[in-house]
Amino acid sequence: MIKINFNPEIDKEKTTRILREIRADKMSGFLDLPKKMYGSKELQRVKKIAEGIRAQSDVLVCIGIGGSYLGHRAIIEALRPQLSKNSGIRDFLGLPEHEKKEVQIIYAGNSLSRRELDYALRQVGDRDFSINVISKSGMTLEPAVAFKEFKRKLIEKYGEAEAVKRIYATTDANFGRLHDEAVAKGYTCFTVPNNVGGRYSVLSEVSLLPLVVAGVDVDELLSGAAQVLKSPEAAVKYAWMRYILGKRGYDTEVFASFEPSTAYFNEWVKQLFGESEGKKKQGILPTSVIYSTDLHSLGQFMQDGRRNLFETIVDFPTDDLNAKVVEAVRIAHIEGRIPVLDLAVPTFNERGFGELIMFFELACAVSAKLFGVNPFDQPGVEAYKKVLHQKINGF
Ligand code: PA5
């Protein structure tokens, strides 16, 4: 279990009320995912289809933005060094030895940069590939643009009939442009549960398909997440600690990791808190560093700059030398008058990341409630989408 080094005073009555409110919210489905997905028929189907993708392709292009891509990218990038060591695939897929290959996951549709899109198309090159297009609303511009381009490439390479068999659409079960196209063309479909918001969807089919294709042991991931729900106290304390610090004027949280492969995990955490909490002029600005790299850049500000920030160290088990840096940073920053919160993660593997995901999701929901905002909507993001759609005249 994740261990913490702080023990804030919490209002028990308020906590009980908040937890009850979260549970009763129509968007609280993320709390059910570990139990709902583990050993389920849906998960068996995901594994079977992932096996098919691995057999047919060298590359899986994952098209999506925000909550539709950050979660699985975070886990895949974090674990990639050890997945590769294991030929990129775990035995749980039951494939014969000669089929144990590393399927590369390439990401697209998370910006509107033509340069990035061309680069992603070039990266795929002449290799065999499939597409997993992920969009809950099925209406978001960035993935729609990338999907159009990759679909064209797929049809050019394989012809219309075979291309259809290589498109996997993850979207709403009933509505949206992507849903309608998927039904009309006959793509293989996965659903984003309608009681789970994008940034809370990591443990749903949104991420499970690319994760299994990449060789991640999703059973372990789900088990880790379930563990947190059995004892949510640490997540609740962390939410209170942030809230108390926020009210004392510490308006910026710096997530610090000492493992470079967790850079995308930082991006996911920032999205989770930023989109859930930054409303009604409330919330804590989430930002991140990777040490020791950033000790030679942002480290100066951390040690000696404006004192409006606190640091949350996501502390994975590590080698001796790196552990010494963790200790040194902790001492130096406390001396520099930064409140340092420690989250000691027991293992750097699927189970550890499963725990972290549920820990942060639950803490984020509680924290947003403490700040008096709705953790599950994103009116600011919707406002941007609306203006953009008007500007490009209904692309
Ligand atoms: O968390 C969220 O709701 C957002 O970040 C969405 O995931 C993001 O805007 C993408 O939306 P969609 O999946 O509808 O394309």
List the strands of the sheet with 340-344, edge to edge.
Answer: 3-4, 340-344, 309-315, 252-257, 285-290
Q: pLDDT at position 94, please?
A: 53
In a domain, 134, yes or no: yes
Residues 117 and 253 in one domain: no
Ligand 1 contact, 136 CB (< 6 A) = yes
In a domain, 395, yes or no: no
Q: pLDDT at position 90, please?
A: 47
Number of neighbouring beta carbons within 10 Å of residue 229: 16
Domain count, the chain: 2
Boundary of a domain, candidates 199, 216, 233: 216
Name which residue sits closest to atom 9 of ligand 1, judged by CA.
66
Residues 140 and 70 in one domain: yes
Ligand 1 contact, 207 CB (< 6 A) = no
Q: pLDDT at position 92, please?
A: 46
Question: Mind listing the pLDDT tens digit of every residue in the chain (395 residues)?
Answer: 999 999 999 999 999 999 999 999 999 999 999 999 999 999 999 999 999 999 999 999 999 999 999 999 999 999 987 775 444 444 445 555 545 578 999 999 999 999 999 999 999 999 999 999 999 999 999 999 999 999 999 999 999 999 999 999 999 999 999 999 999 999 999 999 999 999 999 999 999 999 999 999 999 999 999 999 999 999 999 999 999 999 999 999 999 999 999 999 999 999 999 999 999 999 999 999 999 999 999 999 999 999 999 999 999 999 999 999 999 999 999 999 999 999 999 999 999 999 999 999 999 999 999 999 999 998 887 787 778 878 876 55
Residues 276 and 265 in one domain: yes
Ligand 1 contact, 47 CB (< 6 A) = no
Residues 231 and 354 in one domain: yes
Contact 302, 330 (CB under 8 A): no
Q: Is 134 helix (H, G, I), strand (E, B) or coil?
A: strand
C-alpha span between 319 and 301 (Å, rounded): 26
Residues 51 and 107 in one domain: yes
Boundary of a domain, candidates 216, 237, 259: 216
In a domain, 191, yes or no: yes
Q: Which CATH number goes with the domain that contains 15?
A: 3.40.50.10490
Residues 131 and 262 in one domain: no
Ligand 1, closest atom to CA 176?
Answer: 14
Residues 232 and 286 in one domain: yes
Q: pLDDT at position 192, please?
A: 95
Ligand 1 contact, 220 CB (< 6 A) = no
- Asked about 385 being catalytic, the answer comes back as yes
- Asked about 275 being catalytic, the answer comes back as yes
Residues 18 and 69 in one domain: no
In a domain, 388, yes or no: no
How many Å lie between the centroid of ligand 1 and the Cα of residue 241?
28
Ligand 1, closest atom to CA 199?
Answer: 1
In a domain, 387, yes or no: no
In a domain, 271, yes or no: yes
C-alpha span between 110 and 119 (Å, rounded): 13
Ligand 1, closest atom to CA 65?
Answer: 10
Tell me the C-alpha to C-alpha distance, in Å, between residue 368 and each of 20, 277, 356.
14, 5, 18
Boundary of a domain, candidates 169, 192, 216: 216
Choosing from 68, 72, 200 the residue with most ligand 1 atoms within 8 A of its CB, the one to mutate for a pocket test is 68
Q: pLDDT at position 99, please?
A: 52
Q: What is the pTM of this model?
A: 0.94
Residues 32 and 92 in one domain: yes
Host domain of residue 45 = 28-216
Residues 335 and 279 in one domain: yes
